[in-house]
Amino acid sequence: MLSKTFTLLFYLKKPKNYVDGRMPIYMRFTIDRQRIEIATKRECEPEKWNASAGRKVGQKEDVRALNAFLDSLQTKVYEAQRSLVDNGKSVTAGSIKDILTGVADRPRMIMEIFKEHNEEMFALVGKDFAKGTYNRYEAAMRNVQEFLIYKYKVENVCLDKLDYGLISANAFYLKHKQNISHNTTMEYLLYLKKIVLIFVKNGWIVRDPFFAFSMAKQEVDRRPLDENELKAIETKEFPNERLRKVRDIFLFCCHTGLSYLNVQKLKRSEMIDWLDGKKWLSINRQKTDAPSRIPLLQLPLEILDRYADHLHCQAQDKLLPVMTNQRMNSYLKQIADVCVIERDITFHLARHTFATTVTLSNDVPIESV
């Protein structure tokens, strides 16, 4: 069924700084209040243009040729509209423009759409999305890009190549070549799946290639560190400077309850003198943007003093020299091995440890925690 509201006209569009002479002819069509303008790449003198007819006035050969060209453009618009109806596709101004400009005939590419999605998301950071969410989509897109280059020696593939085999190969690449854990691999694939759903919703692919792919995560031991494990990490002498630095930052979070994102962006100006004469942190939580005041105990103060003159902290106006979350977690695994802690330690475990071992075990009321 054809759209109830459809208009098409040709008109002269006055260029910037126009004085006199010919003006470019534009075609405008509107469908259900959606308007599209397309340059015809033809021109006409304003005094010879019939605005109501949308044609040039005259009987000369050049006039007839121009009007015949405009007639053919108009016919192409109606043919595009009819083609969409016959194929059961949505008739919009944009879909008609795609047919006229040849976009509809070009294969849609995975990375192009992924990039366009991320650019639109970036424009809405602070409104609809947090910067961290955008960063995770960017990381997921880089992983897909690197996988395509590694596996297929190309930087992009069209949507008809997107199938179960490609997704399975991507998961293998992340685990085997990038040495990423199963659960983190599933998180990266989840972002890709959200992009794939855009393809499905737009009718660009018939079936979700993730349909038979298991996204189940493995059970992870999330028990907080007990007092003995925490003491082992605190008292262990590490000859490696990086391990000492990661240990210190991890312990700082164990005694403040800060997340990786909060400690990573912690600035010197956020350490303040409170009414009780002691040092406190005054921050806005990354996840909720809620203001938070945190008293600094003896161990966190000693750690901050240790890195007060660190070159990275001075250059970046940061309290601690925090590296990427992935590298931090990698070094934490080595720390667990050296301290003979027989389970994986991740940076997120610091918050669980703070909420139990450091607070509840020291008689801090659950309401305060």
H or E stretch covering 35:
strand 34-44
Two tokens at 2? 């054809």
**The pLDDT of residue 1:** 45
Q: For the chain, what are the domain ranges?
A: 6-105, 110-201, 227-362
**The pLDDT of residue 362:** 57
pTM: 0.51
Residue located via tokens 């902290």? 313
**The pLDDT of residue 361:** 58
Rounded Cα–Cα distance for residues 207 and 163 (Å): 9
CA-based nearest residue to 57, from 72, 71, 67 = 67
**The pLDDT of residue 340:** 92
Q: Which residues contact 38 (CB under 8 A, 6 or more apart)?
A: 26, 27, 28, 97, 100, 101
**The pLDDT of residue 80:** 87
Rounded Cα–Cα distance for residues 332 and 338 (Å): 10
Burial of residue 219 (number of CB atoms within 10 Å: 0-12, 13-18, 19+): exposed
Query: How many C-beta atoms surround the C-beta of residue 291 within 10 A?
Result: 9
Burial 315-324 (b: 16+ CB within 10 A, else e): eeebbbbbee
**Apex 287 CA angle, 281 and 290, nearest 5:** 50
Rounded Cα–Cα distance for residues 304 and 127 (Å): 34
The per-residue DSSP string of 116-130 comes to: HHHHHHHHTBTTTB-
Residue located via tokens 């942190």? 281
Q: Which residues contact 160 (CB under 8 A, 6 or more apart)?
A: 107, 205
CA-based nearest residue to 295, from 263, 325, 255 = 255
Two tokens at 178? 């990038």
CA-based nearest residue to 361, from 248, 250, 251, 254 = 254
Could you confirm whether domain 227-362 is CATH 3.40.50.2000?
A: no
The per-residue DSSP string of 298-345 comes to: HHHHHHHHHTTT-HHHHHHTBSS----HHHHHHHHHHHHHHTT--S--
How many CA atoms lie within 13 Å of 369's alpha carbon, on the beta-carbon side? 17
Burial 266-286 (b: 16+ CB within 10 A, else e): beeebbeeeeeeebbbebeeb
Q: What is the pLDDT along the chain (369 residues), one digit of tens a residue?
A: 444 578 899 999 998 888 889 999 999 988 887 888 999 999 999 999 999 999 999 999 999 999 999 999 999 999 988 888 887 777 778 778 878 877 655 677 899 999 999 999 999 988 888 888 899 999 999 999 999 999 999 999 988 888 999 999 999 999 998 888 898 899 999 999 999 998 888 777 878 899 889 999 887 667 888 889 999 999 999 988 999 999 999 999 998 888 888 899 899 989 888 877 788 888 876 555 667 888 888 899 999 999 999 998 989 999 999 998 888 988 999 999 999 998 888 888 888 888 777 665 555 555 554
Rounded Cα–Cα distance for residues 295 and 73 (Å): 72
Rounded Cα–Cα distance for residues 3 and 289 (Å): 46
